[in-house]
């Protein structure tokens, strides 16, 4: 059985993004809580960030030509894969500390695994990206592992 994963492609495992630092604001917490329908008072008042708040916090603001066909920012951490149709494969988030307004958070993403499986419709490529988010003191706040499937 032939593989789609070349040594050159697999050499990208361990590739890491530059640290991305963002300030958490009360206004952003409140806007996120309202937009997501989260009605707990601590979130609506902006006293604490709700779950999943960190996801949009670290999105890059990009020009239209830097978006993929489905409107998602092109992930510069990833190599060019031989398969391009992406599907969600899993998401695991560990919340280690609450996030409060005034927190400076730094996220670093690492491509931790690339592997191939064969399904009924042909080959599938899986990749995993870990994101570590720390506070100003360097303490872990959130750990996130994303798995994507390409076919």
pLDDT 10s digits, 53-108 = 999 899 888 898 888 877 888 889 999 999 989 999 999 999 999 999 999 999 99
pLDDT at position 68? 80
Question: Pairing relation of β-strands 122-134 and 104-119?
Answer: antiparallel
Give Cβ neighbours of residue 38 (< 8 Å, ≥ 6 apart).
32, 44, 50
| 114 touches 125 (CB < 8 A) | yes
Identify the pLDDT of residue 65: 86
- What pLDDT is attached to residue 73? 85
Give the residue from 41, 32, 141, 149 showing the smallest Cα distance to 90.
149
The domain over range 7-150 is classified in CATH as 3.40.50.11750: no
> Would the pLDDT of 17 be above 90?
yes
Buried b (16+ CB within 10 A) or exposed e, 139-148: eebbebebbb
pLDDT reported for residue 66: 84
Structure confidence at residue 13 (pLDDT): 98
Each residue's pLDDT tens digit, 20-66: 999 999 999 999 999 999 999 999 999 999 999 999 899 888 898 88
Q: What is the pLDDT at residue 1?
A: 60
> What is the pTM for the complete model shown?
0.90
């Amino acid at each position: 059985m032939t593989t789609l994963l070349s040594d050159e492609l697999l050499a990208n495992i361990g590739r890491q993004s530059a640290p991305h630092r963002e300030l958490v604001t009360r206004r952003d917490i409140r806007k996120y809580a309202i937009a997501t329908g989260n009605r707990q008072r601590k979130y609506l008042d902006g006293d604490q960030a709700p779950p999943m708040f960190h996801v949009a916090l670290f999105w890059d603001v990009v020009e239209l030509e830097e978006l993929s066909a489905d409107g998602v920012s092109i992930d510069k951490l990833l190599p060019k894969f031989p398969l391009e149709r992406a599907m969600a494969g899993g998401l695991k988030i560990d919340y280690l500390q609450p996030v409060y307004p005034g927190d400076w958070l730094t996220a670093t993403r690492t491509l931790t695994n690339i592997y191939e499986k064969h399904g009924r419709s042909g080959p599938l490529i899986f990749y995993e990206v870990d994101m570590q988010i720390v506070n100003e003191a360097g303490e872990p706040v959130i750990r996130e592992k994303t798995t994507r499937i390409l076919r």
